């Protein structure tokens, strides 16, 4: 009896545990959809669009220099970790007229890492407000059209986040002023959505 028990513990339980967690990937390995009506970036802006990309969306506002700290936090904690994944981008929305400040920001970011997936969309004020409203969050843009929060938008223009966050209830965005929020929550959520798309791609290839 003792030998049988030992054999069960050593061989059967690990298999049962593996099957449990493997089945759980499909059921629980998806980042919740919080809103499925995010507006697309106007085509006349250029290639800075959401479609067919997993996007980290941010709003730097009129004072780009004042948001450099947020951008650096985001670059160090999220971009450096995930920028090599296909179809993944950062898209920062800024008002027209901030082109020179954005160039300076990109130069500073490029001294830390390559910046090929740091994209910027220069929009009119009304378009920025409409885009932010289409996210359907409980957050607001500041007077200079900026926000410390960034958002995860999937390839189908759906806002992703947490619908049962232990601190916020529904978590629409991630505070770039908080290294803890980026480290403890956003890193995990980006991992989940990237794994979700990798799994979907593998299933499509098998089919």
pLDDT value at residue 2 = 59
* Cβ(62)–Cβ(145) below 8 Å: yes
Structural domain of 149? 32-206
Answer yes or no: is 5 within a domain.
no
pLDDT digits (tens, 9 = 90+) for 93-130: 999 999 999 999 999 999 988 999 999 999 999 999 99
Is 2 part of a structural domain of the chain?
Answer: no
pLDDT per position as a tens digit, 160-180 = 999 999 999 999 999 999 999
Q: How confident is the model at residue 21 (pLDDT cuts 50, 70, 90)?
A: very low
Whether 27 maps to a domain, the answer reads no
Cα separation, 3 vs 11, whole angstroms: 12
Assess if residue 39 is contained within a domain: yes
pLDDT score recorded for residue 48: 58
190 vs 21, which has greater pLDDT? Answer: 190
Burial of 171 (0-12, 13-18, 19+ CB in 10 A): buried
Q: Residue 202: is its pLDDT beyond 90?
A: no
Is residue 93 within 8 Å of residue 60, measured between CB atoms? yes
State the virtual CA torsion across 137, 75, 94, 67 in degrees, nearest 10.
90
Instruction: For residue 197, tell me if it sits in a domain.
Output: yes
Residues 6+ apart with CB under 8 A from 111: none
C-beta separation of 184 from 101 below 8 A = no
- Torsion of the alpha carbons at 21, 23, 26 and 29, rounded to the nearest 10: -10
Q: DSSP string of the chain?
A: -HHHHHHIIIIIHHHHHHHHHHHHHHHH-SPPEEES-PPPPPGGG-S---TTSEEEEEEE-S-TGGGHHHHHHHIIIIIHHHTTSTTEEEEEEEETT-HHHHHHHHHHHHTTS--TTEEEEEE-HHHHHHHHHHT--S----TTSEEEEEEEE-TTS-EE-EEEETTTEEE--EETT-HHHIIIIIHHHHHHHHHHHHHHHHHHHH-
Amino acid 23: pLDDT: 41
Most confident by average pLDDT, 16-20, 31-35, 199-203 = 31-35
CATH number, domain with residue 129: 3.40.30.10
* The total number of structural domains that make up the chain: 1
In a domain, 149, yes or no: yes
């Amino acid at each position: 009896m003792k030998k049988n028990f030992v054999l069960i513990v050593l061989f059967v339980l690990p298999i049962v545990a593996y099957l449990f967690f493997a089945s759980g990937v499909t059921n629980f390995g998806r980042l919740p959809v919080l809103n499925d009506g995010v507006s697309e970036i106007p085509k006349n802006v250029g290639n800075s669009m959401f479609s067919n990309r997993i996007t980290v969306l941010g709003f730097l506002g009129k004072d780009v220099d004042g948001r450099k700290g947020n951008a650096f936090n985001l670059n160090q904690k999220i971009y450096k970790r995930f920028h090599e994944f296909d179809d993944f981008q950062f898209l920062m929305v800024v008002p027209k007229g901030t082109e020179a400040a954005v160039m300076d920001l990109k130069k500073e970011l490029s001294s830390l890492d390559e910046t090929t997936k740091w994209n910027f969309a220069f929009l009119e004020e009304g378009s920025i407000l409409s885009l932010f409203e289409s996210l359907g969050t409980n957050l607001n843009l500041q007077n200079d059209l900026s926000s410390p929060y960034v958002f995860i938008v999937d390839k189908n223009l759906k806002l992703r986040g947490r619908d049962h966050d232990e601190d916020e209830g529904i978590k629409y965005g991630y505070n770039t002023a908080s290294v803890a929020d980026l480290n403890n929550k956003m890193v995990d959520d980006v991992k989940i959505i990237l794994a979700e798309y990798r799994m979907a791609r593998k299933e499509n290839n098998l089919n």
